[in-house]
């Protein structure tokens, strides 16, 4: 009876192979999420002994994750879906996301295994011997400083590398990780026939053959020329020999890379014509999930604050990262990470609002926009954007002072954090437009008074959006977009039925004049 009741419900699946778990959502044609499931590495795969999904090595710099843990997590989640009666036959297409920058090393001969998987067995035991490196470097790794210097030197410096690939050299970026493996484990490198990102690795398993890297996640490698969307020969050559043949040709992120492998048709009942749309990075997938459009900004207010920007024409800088846009192949996106986020806000709340958010909010309500000309920048931990530490306060006469009254301190912190975001966004080529929406997410986005300052500083309306599943949901949206491949239907058209974000704050009249004056002084 239950099965009979479950009407045929065509859907797309969105996957996320993130740092701590594998997650999946099913989204129907009305863009409603009607199924979700997840497998948590630390909790459900304890035999791998990870913490937060990773192994931090004794050197304190090397951070890896076992690829077979990701493979086995997929076995488990598919069995959970099957046991719950999920109807795989209704899946029209699937796409997914992976934690960015991580890399997977397929051993010579693995492609034969991948194309001839037996549907009678789980993936883990069949792929057991398919990887030349079992502990994959992931984005939390910072052991490749030497390789970063070598790469920048090879292409003419940090700014040159940023112009070429969208970022200066970063330890977590894949090219530098591949260089380290080639230098320190040449044997394994020589037995590697294919190198995938976490995203294209997951796509390869569903495809039953090697999936290409997409332009957007490929922009996180310090290897892809983001203007021409081809590998930079100078960067490839600086990292490792014969690298291009191991990477394959990159593809537009909206590409249908093929039909699902017969393994999934026979073992789980997926339709043979189910399409696999290129997987991408978790942040580009989140941009799709938030339905960011030209001129919009997403601000994730968490432990560290992350800004997602949509850029038409990027101006690469030494801060932030520019990626090819995952939903519009002509445009770009950028990420800016600010390490002094919520932890800094909590410290000032403790010191100047007796650890009470309501007192903190009252201070914002009782102080004026522009804070009487008082400016403050607070970095208790070494900031990434820019690289600076310490607390810096300036009076209206621009004299450095050592303290502010409590209410002034609180407003100075919040105005300073949001003005810094605007300054660095504009340095990357971002411009506020009349149609600009600011999408706020993360813990601090529940504080309306804080969002009012955000609206005033940027001169744009602020909406709140729930992004718990944004990488998965964005991947399901991209799968629907892939179904329309060839009709050049814009992504925004495909997802217009999705639930809209909620408007929370609009700019106070006169705000732009106040902050223009203040921004001149920074």
Minimal distance, residue 100 CB to ligand 5FX, in Å: 3
Residue bearing tokens 């800094």: 344
- Pick 66 or 220: Cβ nearer ligand 5FX: 220
State the Cα–Cα distance between residues 338 and 341, nearest whole angstrom. Answer: 6
Q: Which of 201, 441, 275, 428 is nearest to 342 (CA)?
A: 441
Q: Taking every pair of C-alpha atoms in the chain, what is the biggest distance, in angstroms?
A: 76
- Pick 104 or 505: Cβ nearer ligand 5FX: 104
192 dihedral zone (left: phi>0; alpha: psi -120 to 50; beta): beta
Minimal distance, residue 223 CB to ligand 5FX, in Å: 15
**470, 474, 475, 480 alpha-carbon torsion, rounded to 10°:** 150
Helix crossing, 406-427 with 342-352: angle to 10°? 160
Residues linked to residue 362 through DSSP beta bridges, in sequence order: none
State the Cα–Cα distance between residues 106 and 388, nearest whole angstrom. Answer: 40
- Pick 214 or 282: Cβ nearer ligand 5FX: 282
- Pick 142 or 183: Cβ nearer ligand 5FX: 142
- Pick 208 or 320: Cβ nearer ligand 5FX: 320
Residues with Cβ within 8 Å of 16's Cβ and at least 6 positions away in sequence, in order, are 22, 23, 24, 96, 97, 98, 282, 285, 469, 471, 472, 475
Q: Mind giving me the DSSP string for 317-344?
A: -SSSEEEE-SS-TTSEEEEEEESSSHHH
Q: Given the rule CB under 6 A, which residues bind ligand 5FX?
A: 18-19, 99-101, 139, 172, 220, 281-283, 321, 335
- Pick 208 or 281: Cβ nearer ligand 5FX: 281
State the Cα–Cα distance between residues 498 and 492, nearest whole angstrom. Answer: 10
- Pick 322 or 414: Cβ nearer ligand 5FX: 322
């Amino acid at each position: 009876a239950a099965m009979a009741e479950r009407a045929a419900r065509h859907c797309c699946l969105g996957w996320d192979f993130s740092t701590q778990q594998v997650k999946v959502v099913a989204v129907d044609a009305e863009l409603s999420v009607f199924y979700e499931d997840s497998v948590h590495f630390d909790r459900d795969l304890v035999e791998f002994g990870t913490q937060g999904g990773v192994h931090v090595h004794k050197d304190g710099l090397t951070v890896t994750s076992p690829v077979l843990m990701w493979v086995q997590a997929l076995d488990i989640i598919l069995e959970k879906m099957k046991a719950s009666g999920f109807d795989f036959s209704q899946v029209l297409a699937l796409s997914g996301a992976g934690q960015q920058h991580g890399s997977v090393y397929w051993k010579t001969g693995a492609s034969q295994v991948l194309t001839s998987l037996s549907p009678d067995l789980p993936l883990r035991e069949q792929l057991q011997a398919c990887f030349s490196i079992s502990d994959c470097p992931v984005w939390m790794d910072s052991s490749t400083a030497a390789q970063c210097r070598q790469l920048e030197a090879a292409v003419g410096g940090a700014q040159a590398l940023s112009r070429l690939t969208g970022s200066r050299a970063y330890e977590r970026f894949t090219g530098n990780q591949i260089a380290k493996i080639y230098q320190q484990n040449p044997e394994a490198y020589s037995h590697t026939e294919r190198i995938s990102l976490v995203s294209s690795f997951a796509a390869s398993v569903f495809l039953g053959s090697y999936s290409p890297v997409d332009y957007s996640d490929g922009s996180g490698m310090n290897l892809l020329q983001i203007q021409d969307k081809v590998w930079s020969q100078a960067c490839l050559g600086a990292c490792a020999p014969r690298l291009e043949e191991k990477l394959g040709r990159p593809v537009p992120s909206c590409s249908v890379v093929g039909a699902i492998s017969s393994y999934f048709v026979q073992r789980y009942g997926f339709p043979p014509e189910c399409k696999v749309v290129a997987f991408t990075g978790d942040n580009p997938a989140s941009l799709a999930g938030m339905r960011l459009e030209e001129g919009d900004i997403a601000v994730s207010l968490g432990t560290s604050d992350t800004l997602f920007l949509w850029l038409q024409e990027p101006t690469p800088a030494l801060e932030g990262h520019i990626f090819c846009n995952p939903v519009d192949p002509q445009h770009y996106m950028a990420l800016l990470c600010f390490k002094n986020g919520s932890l800094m806000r909590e410290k000032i709340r403790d010191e100047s609002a007796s650890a009470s958010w309501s007192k903190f909010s009252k201070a914002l309500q009782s102080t004026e926009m522009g804070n009487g000309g008082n400016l403050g920048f607070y970095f208790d931990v070494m900031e990434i954007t820019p690289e600076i530490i310490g607390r810096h306060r300036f009076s209206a006469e621009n004299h450095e002072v050592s303290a502010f009254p409590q209410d002034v301190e609180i407003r100075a912190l919040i105005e300073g954090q949001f003005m810094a975001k605007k300054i660095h966004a504009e340095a990357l080529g971002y411009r506020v437009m009349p149609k600009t929406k600011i999408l706020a997410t993360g813990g601090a986005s529940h504080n309306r008074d804080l969002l009012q300052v955000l609206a005033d500083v940027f001169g744009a309306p602020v909406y709140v959006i729930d992004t718990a599943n944004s990488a998965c949901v964005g991947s399901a949206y991209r799968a629907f977009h892939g179904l329309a491949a060839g009709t050049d239907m814009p992504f925004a058209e495909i997802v217009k039925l999705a639930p809209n974000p909620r408007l929370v704050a609009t700019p106070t009249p006169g705000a732009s004049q106040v902050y223009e004056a203040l921004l001149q002084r920074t």
